[in-house]
Amino acid sequence: MTSTKVAFVGLGAMGFGMASHLVKKGYDVIGYDVYKPTCVRFQQAGGRVAQSPREAALEAKTLICMVTSSQQVDSVLFDSENGAVEVLPLNASIIICSTVQSAYLTEIRSRLDCIGRNDISLVDSPVSGGTVRAAKGTLTILVSASPGALRQHRGILSDLSEKLFIIPGGIGAASNVKMVNQLLAGVHIAAAAEAMGLAVRMGLNTRRVYEIIVNAAGNSWMFENRVPHMLDNDWTPRSALDIFVKDMGIVTSSARLQGFPLPLASAAEQLYLSASLSGYGKEDDSGLVRLFTPGNESAVHDNGKLDVATEDRLTPTLTPNEIKKVGFIGLGAMGLGMATSLIKGGFQVSGYDLSPKPVLKFLSAGGKAEAANSPTEAASHADIVVLMVQAASQVEDVLFGSGNVAERLPIGAVVIISSTIAPSFARKIDTRLRDLGKDLCLVDAPVSGGVAKAAEGLLTIICSATKTAMSKATPVLLAMSGKPENIYFVGGGVGAASSVKLINQLLAGVHIVAAAEAIAFGAKMGLETQKVYEIIKNAAGGSWMFENRVPAMLSEDWTPHSMLAIFVKDLSIVLDESKRLGFPASLTAAAHQTNLMGASYGWAQEADGGIVRLWELITGVSVSKSARPQEIPFTPREYPKLPLNETLDALPAEYEGDVLRSIKEQISDQKTPLLVILDDDPTGTQTCHDISVLTVWDIETLQLEFKTAERGFFILTNSRAFPPKEAKKLVETICQNIQNAAQATGKTFEIVLRGDSTLRGHFPEEPETVEAILGKGNIDAWILAPFFYQGGRYTINDVHYVAEGDTLVPASQTPFARDATFGYKSSNLRDYVLEKAGSKFTVDDFVSISIEDIRLGIDHVTEKLLKATKGSVVIVNAAAETDMHVFAAGILAAEQKGRKYICRTGAAFVSSRLGITGIPPLSAESLNINNTTTGGLIIAGSYVPKTTLQLQSLRTRRASKLYVIELPVAKLIHSLEAVTDFVSKAVEHASQSLQNGQDVLIMTSRDLVVGQDPVSSLGIGGLVAEILVRIMLGIEVRPRYVIAKGGITSSDMATKGLKMKRAVIVGQAAAGVPLWKCDEGTSRHRGVPFVVFPGNVGGENTLAELVERWALPKYS
């Protein structure tokens, strides 16, 4: 509680809530507003009331201004009779929470200095979140000011906010971010009004439309918040329309001053001006919708009363087992995920696509997936056919043209069209199918949710059809939607669902262009666009599309998960339908014209988010280059190679205490949090035993693990196999699920990011993601500890080395540093962090825990950790396993005193922190594999030089005792037919050799095939991995053992090839080589020893020696 005196001027809708909340927090708040009834309400809420801004400001050290416009701010501060500035005490502060131009804030600063009040601190602090959050003190608040002013007022601003964002750049920077937010919020309200007006004109039930859109890709914060007012015909001014007349005016005038085009914001501004002139200005901004329903201002409300379908239409008449076959045509970005979900649902699916690559990915799903050579083959004998093609012309061609699918379908079959098509076209197709006289049914079932939801089987599906058709199709729809609540039946017959989808596409299409316009404008104003994105995605300007598409804009990733051409087509359909109905769709038209310009530049087949390049071309800004603060140039320091033994011998003596014992005692205490290790590939388990590893992370599985785990557990994320954006999203999802599972079970936890000991992986993206989920203010420091003794990775004097024979080689001089995706130039870990993280850190942000520190003991390490400045990066040096034991004990002690860390480490830290003592490698006898008569299976996908040497040694030493199958990668990546033929022969020959007891090596050709950039290189690697998985899935003979060489290969073999969900790490097959066993009934080859052999671990003969030890006697 505090008795700080605060003057609060502007007790409007949000200001009243903010001031009242401060009263509840114990502040002495003196309020003023020109509207006297509000002052009375505030007095009743416990506040004091002044008769003028000047009276409120007397003796107040802090003045908060929450008025509507810059003219009102001017009056509050500088009015000759009642202005507050004249009476503010020395060193007072003015906090401007109003939405004003940044240039105006600069003007205020100048005027204060001119009248001799340079003692007054000015804080730029616009707010967002609405009236409810204002009253609860959970606003999103942006703030920019001098460092001193920020320190002074962080407390009061934190009391008003759930999220407080410090915006670098000085006075005006926060207002510029707010301007971007208001641009989006204003466009989104206008888009919601246009969309609901069109829904009325289409004769749709508007309440049903709202229920669907809030669960689809067309949703936005403003749509979800404002449409209920439209449905209730409630224009009570929670936020008056004239506020957006003012705010959109600020946005567009600022853009004009900078010569920056804002077509959507300008179109939206004209709508607000028209609504204000129509007399709606003092009412709620949601009342803008009345422009689109002339003659019936309550039309949205009235249409919400129309009859809707009942749930009995979703009652299935068939089970998955009764549906003999599903044909799926169109395995594009979303179609692939949908077809894969059907496979997971137990359906036999025959998939077809014009491109071979998605068909290959589809087949790697295993199960009952089969490739079709034509649409006709996919549909032959199918009970249900799903069409997920791009255009209406393709639908018609597949069904009645060259595809001839309609003729080949059996009597009573169901056609599901999930493409976005015109309602009239859907009705036309329905008529043509019925006219064939085969009792064919059409389900109009467009989908929404994006590539991720399609892959997860959690799409929103909008349906309209006869009751009979719906009953037959429901099992298939459920497999793609995950649960009945994600299926929305729309009354009105075939075509009605497509009408609702057009409403969704109107919103989604406008939101994508608005996101591009806004984030580019942010770059123009010199803002850090990554920070703008992080703020707005959770603020009133957020939308599904903003959150989903802007990351690609920030990383310049134009991979066509959703092509620009699709929205050129879809918005064209919306405009055609609007024209047919005589409906004005100005925002849709503006978005469509913008997309057409993008297509004219040749971007039609690239990602729709690539439309941001239009602003970049015209204005010269770069959204991606603005994503982070300007990098501080530096040249990595060079270091010589060192003699291994002499260097280690020169170090101080190792600490001699029984550290592991003390760690074990501490982690046995139930108060010690469980350790959850997120492993970016499976090799991080290489120092552990008798601990579980999960390859799935649903909340139910995590809850069970939290209940049963004693010390902790691994989660295999395999994030190193994904591009940065996907890796961040994956880690974010896992961390959120961990939080939910821990909360449900009453457990506490700590997260460790186990990464590559040769420094490859997503750094700093993964630590940043974990920090964002756990709360940035809760984290004291990052820990970087890549030491791994078994692999010969040492950190000495902050320099990371890789042992090659008797020599310590600086990591940047090894082949690992030349990795096509994760390369680096720095061996000194301080330089490495600066190289990877840019100006996120400075040279003053590092703390070194030296080997000398560690060998002085636990207390010394703990003391250094406790003294580290918040926000530091701690570099952990280590040259022996005991060093990591000591550090682990030190960090546990620091955590007992309340410190919290995010750890990015090698495998050694994990086993030390878990108190795990090493055990000798396991023998064939201990694994009970001598009773089997089949051969062992070795699958090698790693391309690192050490793996190549090990494979050469294996082939030389085993010679004819080893059957070798080599993938000609360069030949296979372009031909589905070649892949299918190769996989078939590989499965046949491998199975025969294994059955005969001969060991089999399946390896990729040693010439590394890479793409033009890191993302495409990952794509080629993914395709090769899918070929290996298909071979593994085809082998029905239970091998004696399975060795997977390389981290990504190991992950794919475990999760896809052997269907593991939970395994136990039983120990090591060789030093640094993990050995798993999975006894789950759902896994393939249950209980077979599975060796996770890292690509960069072991000597030249380690692999050959392991195979020799485990071979059948007749092949020894």
* Enzyme catalytic residues: 501
> Residue 587 — left, alpha, or beta (φ > 0 → left; ψ -120 to 50 → alpha)?
alpha
Distances (CA, A) of 538 to 44, 198, 979, 1005: 33, 28, 45, 47
How many angstroms separate the CA atoms of 93 and 120, rounded?
Answer: 5
Does an H or E element contain 950, and which? helix 945-958
Nearest to 521 by CA among 601, 616, 600: 616
Nearest to 491 by CA among 467, 471, 461: 467
Task: Tell me the three state secondary structure of residue 738.
Answer: helix
In the sheet that 127-128 helps form, which strands lie side by side, from edge to edge? 127-128, 139-143, 161-166
Task: Tell me the three state secondary structure of residue 1014.
Answer: helix
DSSP 636-673: PPP---EEHHHHHHTSPPPP-S-HHHHHHHHHTSTTSP
How many angstroms separate the CA atoms of 300 and 282, rounded?
Answer: 20
DSSP 918-969: P-PPPPTTTTT-TT--SPPEEEE---SHHHHHHHHHHHHHHGGGEEEEEE-H
How many angstroms separate the CA atoms of 464 and 488, rounded?
Answer: 9
DSSP structure class, residue 100: -
Distances (CA, A) of 708 to 76, 186, 1064: 62, 50, 13
Residue 440 contacts by C-beta under 8 Å, 6 or more apart in sequence?
406, 409, 411, 412, 413, 414, 415, 433, 434
DSSP structure class, residue 281: T
User: CB-based burial of residue 41 (10 Å sphere; 0-12 exposed, 13-18 middle, 19+ buried)?
Assistant: middle
238: Cα within 13 Å, side-chain hemisphere = 16
DSSP structure class, residue 563: B
> Token digits for 236?
């009570």
Q: How far is CA 647 from the centre of its chain?
A: 44
How many angstroms separate the CA atoms of 545 and 450, rounded?
Answer: 10
Do 386 and 338 form a contact (C-beta atoms < 8 A)?
A: yes
Task: Tell me the three state secondary structure of residue 390.
Answer: coil
> Token digits for 474?
């429901």
How many angstroms separate the CA atoms of 105 and 813, rounded?
Answer: 51
Do 466 and 430 form a contact (C-beta atoms < 8 A)?
A: no
Do 123 and 149 form a contact (C-beta atoms < 8 A)?
A: yes
- Do β-strands 691-694 and 1062-1070 pair in parallel, antiparallel, or remain unpaired? antiparallel
H helix runs in 959-1063, sequence order: 969-972, 976-995, 1014-1034, 1047-1052
Task: Tell me the three state secondary structure of residue 305.
Answer: coil
